[in-house]
Structure 1
Amino acid sequence: MLTVFYDGNCPLCLREMIALKEYDQDNLLQLENIYGESFNTRFPHIDPIRADKILHGQWEDGTLIFGLEVTCSAWKLVGKHKWIQVLRWPFIKPIANVGYRFFAHYRHSIAAVVSGKRACDRCK
Structure 2
Amino acid sequence: MALHPDITVLYDGKCPLCKREINFIKRKDKHNRITTVDIAAPNFTPAHYGRTFDQLNGRIHAFLPDGSCITGMEVFRRIYASLGLGFLVSWTRLPLARQASDRAYNWFAHNRLRLTGRLHIKPNNDNNDCDSGHCKT
Q: What are the ranges of 5 or more consecutive residues in structure 2 without an aligned counterpart? A: 1-5, 123-137
Q: Alpha-carbon deviation of 1:96?
A: 1.4
**1:101 matched residue in structure 2:** 106
Q: Is the CA contact (8 Å cut-off) linking 1:3 and 1:32 kept in structure 2?
A: yes
**2:66 matched residue in structure 1:** 61
Q: Is the CA contact (8 Å cut-off) linking 1:2 and 1:30 kept in structure 2?
A: yes
Is 1:5 paired with 2:4? no
Q: Is the CA contact (8 Å cut-off) linking 1:3 and 1:30 kept in structure 2?
A: yes
Q: Please give the secondary structure, in 2, of the residue aligned with 1:122.
A: coil
Using the size of structure 2 for normalisation, the TM-score is 0.76
Q: Is the CA contact (8 Å cut-off) linking 2:46 and 2:52 kept in structure 1?
A: no
Over aligned residue pairs, what C-alpha RMSD do you find? 2.0
Between the aligned partners of 1:65 and 1:41, the Cα distance in structure 2 is 15
Aligned length: 117
Q: Of 98, 115, 119, which residue of structure 2 is paired with 1:110?
A: 115
Matches within 5 A, 1:1-124: 1-40=6-45, 43-80=48-85, 82-111=87-116, 118-119=117-118, 121-122=120-121
Given the superposition, is the C-alpha separation of residues 79 and 119 from structure 1 closer, same or farther in structure 2, using an over 3 Å criterion? farther
More displaced 10-residue stretch of structure 1: 77-86 or 65-74:
77-86
Using the size of structure 1 for normalisation, the TM-score is 0.83
Q: Give the share of equivalent positions with the same residue, in percent.
A: 26
Structure with a larger share of its residues in helix? 1
